[in-house]
Structure 1
Amino acid sequence: MIYEFRTYRLRPRALPEFLGLFGDALPRREQFSKLAAFWYTEIGPLNEVIHVWPYENALERTRIRAEAVKAGVWPPATGHLILDMKAEVFDALPFSPALDPSDHGPFFEMRTSTLKPFSIPTMVERWKDRIAARAELSPLIGVFSSDIGGLNRWMHIWAYRSLDERDVIRKRAEEQGIWPPPEESPAMDEESKILLAAPFSPIK
């Protein structure tokens, strides 16, 4: 299974119209494959939307996207609202939960690290025996490494009921020695975004 994360930067104040157009077109697009999640930024780089599509492999991705375009159901008529577009393909790590519909939000933190080249296996070793204890404190939505797009990227997404809950849980994890893993990290750069789910997102 691969996951395509499509990130669009919108014009200021364009989000309501974009969500309306995307949501109206989505049922016809989902006749070909299902949407996993749709988020928009609340804190961090503003006016971004992120939609996530699962595929069995790259061949299925190419076939489904071509079929949806040929049928005239996709993409939605949102081009006038978009300033920039980026597509990345990620693989889920072995300890990542499936991106199934859920209701753990409404706040989601997407944390992305750029790692030293060839250090994905090192990061897996740091996380594999510790991630379960951290996930007991707040729901883990997924952990991914990049395959197409920016390379050496490690992304994890966590759900919270409130921003206050996020602060409490992160402090508790650090005070109890649960998280972050104590070994030296291969991360060279890090960024974080706080996201909210669109009304039609299967993950809320």
Structure 2
Amino acid sequence: MQYDVTLITIRPATAGKAMAKLAETAPAAPGKLLACWQSEIGNLNQILLIREHASAQAAADYRQGIVESEDPYGVGEWTNSSESDTYAVLPFLKPLQPGTYGPFFEVRTYLLKPGKAASTIERWKEALPARLERSPLLTCMNSVSGRQTRFLHIWPYPSLDKRYEVRQGAIKDGIWPPKGGGENTLWDQRSDIYVPAPFSPIK
């Protein structure tokens, strides 16, 4: 199973129009739509789409179709830019499933230094059980196309206050983040808060 993660940057004040169109086009596109979210905190005017594909070839075919289409989702008139890449869920985690988890999703994207992906995955495997006692993880994936040192993890929270409470507590108690990372592993970090569209299967 592989997942396409598409990030669409739209012009300010056009989110309502773009989301209305995506409600029609996103579920009908190839693959299985899992998420359609809009950024609330961080980089604004972003729409994040996550689609599931049954194989690497299906994911590649989908991305090729995106490249060849002039307007794959019908929101071109409101779009400033878009990017799309394929990810694989870490081998010890379950596939993504539709359901209600949020309504706030923290999407954290790390750019790893060369050669650090394997050790990062192992550190996460060791540290994650203790962290999951505090709050759930929706998924953690590494990129298998484009810039292949990207590490994407998504944390759902019922409120922003709960996010702060959980994160601060995990840091204070020394269970998170996994030890051995930081400047030894990372080139860059990015974090944004998203909220789901009404038609998003994951919300």
Normalised by the length of structure 1, the TM-score is: 0.89
AA matched with 1:44: G
Q: Give the match for residue 92 of structure 1.
A: 89
User: CA contact under 8 A between 2:63 and 2:84: conserved in structure 1?
Assistant: no
- Opposite residue 197 of structure 2, the aligned amino acid is A
Distance 2:77 2:135 in 1: 38
CA distance in 2, matches of 1:61, 1:167: 35
List gaps (5 residues or longer) in structure 1.
Answer: 69-73
What's the CA shift for 1:65?
7.2
Greater mean deviation of Cα atoms: 182-191 or 121-130: 182-191
Q: Which runs of 4 or more aligned residues in structure 1 lie more than 4 Å from their structure 2 counterparts after TM superposition?
A: 62-68
Letter in 2 for 1:3: Y
User: 1:67-97 CA distances to partner (integer Å, 9 max, x unpaired)?
Assistant: 99xxxxx834211011101011111101333
- Name structure 2 gaps, 5 residues minimum: none
Within the alignment, does 1:140 sit opposite 2:137 as a pair? Answer: yes
Deviation at residue 128 of structure 1 after TM alignment = 0.6
Counterpart of 1:153 (choices 141, 150, 153) is 150
Identity among equivalent pairs (%)? 36
Alignment length (residue pairs): 200
Q: Which residue of structure 2 lines up, in the alignment, with residue 15 of structure 1?
A: 15
Contact 2:63 2:85 (8 Å CA) reproduced: no
Residue pair 2:2, 2:89 contacting (<8 A) in 1 also: yes
TM-aligned CA distance change 1:179 to 1:60, over 3 Å: same
Structure 2 CA distance for aligned equivalents of residues 109 and 78 of structure 1: 24
**Which of 174, 178, 190 in structure 2 is aligned with 1:181?**
178
Q: In 2, Cα distance between the equivalents of 1:47 and 1:62? A: 27
Return the alpha-carbon distance in structure 2 between the equivalents of residues 115 and 102 of structure 1: 30
Q: 2:124–2:178: 8 Å Cα contact kept in structure 1? A: yes
